[in-house]
A and B are shown apart, each in its own frame.
Chain A
Amino acid sequence: MNEMTDVTADPTDHHLIDQFKAGSMEAMEKIVGRYEDRIFTFGLKMCGHLQDAEDIAQETFLNAFRYLKDFREETKLKNWLFMIAARACIRKRRKKKCEPDHEISLDSFVQEDGSAGRYEIPDWSDDPSDNVIRAELKRIIDAAIQTLPQKYKLVFNLRDMEGFSTKETAEILGISAQAVKTRLHRARLFLREEISKRYKEGRSR
């Protein structure tokens, strides 16, 4: 059975892909315009550096348009772009010869008294006059995300930041749905602890 049978192509993407295949550069730029901020955001959340995020976006679109003529729309264009972007992030990290990923164990979140701990999580203000507070919170959150090991960060960014479903995330990363659920839960527990810790440190300064 084809697991991709429930995929419905976005009509705008479908039209633009057809135009690109027929030679339209304008269609290419329109596709870029639809997805560049999302891919750039993903690259930035994955790598933590503006230049790396720009490289990821360039590599993603260059590869996408190189192979778009063979793209059969068995998966959504957006999901396919994120599949290419995720691979670009993995390659970039490999080139930097970083330390191997460490595993996050559930037991590490159980406190000495056997409880799940207490965490102080700040509120996000939607009031535009709270710009300074929001900038500080965003800095705390972004720094916390950067401390996640890569395989957890990939899942967290796709699921919670980009809003892909468990099934879509599993397809994008080529892992099982169960692995997505396990990694997401551990990533969230890890971030809750990091955000709470960094927020408390910031307030005591």
Chain B
Amino acid sequence: MKEECRRDFERISEYLDGELSEDLCRQIEDHLRRCPQCRECVDSLRKSIELCKKAVYEEMGRDARERLRAALRDCFASDRS
């Protein structure tokens, strides 16, 4: 891996998260314009992050919700009556 590719490979996430200075972003974007391999690397990482975010949500079942409330009532209701 070329030095420039390696340098940017280490900071793609910070680049995608907008955590780098303008100067560094410009430096990376200059490199990406010239390097199709790194461009592909950034694109597939971005796509993979977005895919994970789409699949995040889980919902607690109704029985689990009720068990949680029952455990909390057992623990705290007596302190408060």
Residues of chain A touching chain B, judged by Cβ–Cβ distance below 8 Å, are 23, 25, 28-29, 32, 36-37, 40-41, 44-45, 50, 53-54, 57-58, 61-62, 65-66, 106, 109-110, 114-124, 134, 137-138, 141-142, 145, 160-161, 166, 181, 184-185, 188-189, 191-192, 195-196
Contacts and interface: CB of A to CB of B under 8 A. Distances in A.
A160 B69 contact: no
A110 B1 contact: yes
A121 B44 contact: yes
A192 B58 contact: no
B67 interface: yes
Interface in B16-50: 17, 19, 37-38, 40-41, 44-45, 47-50
Contacts of B2: 114
A92 to B, nearest CB: 16
B48 A36 contact: no
Contact of A57 (B48, B53, B60): B60
A66 B59 CA distance: 25
A117 B41 contact: yes
Contacts of A44: 58
Interface of B: 1-2, 5-6, 9-14, 17, 19, 37-38, 40-41, 44-45, 47-61, 64-65, 67-69, 71-73, 75-77, 80
B80 A25 contact: yes
13 contacts: A41-B56, A41-B57, A45-B56, A62-B72, A65-B72, A66-B75, A114-B2, A119-B44, A121-B51, A123-B47, A124-B55, A145-B52, A161-B56
A57 B68 contact: yes
Contacts of A141: 51-52, 55
B3 to A, nearest CB: 11
A196 B48 CA distance: 9
Contact of B13 (A41, A54, A138, A181): A181
B75 A23 contact: no
Contacts of A114: 1-2
B69 A124 contact: no
Contact of A181 (B19, B48, B52): B19
A116 B6 CA distance: 9
A23 B47 contact: no
Given A181-B14, A192-B48, 4 more contacts: A37-B60, A116-B9, A141-B52, A166-B17
Contact of B14 (A62, A115, A185): A185
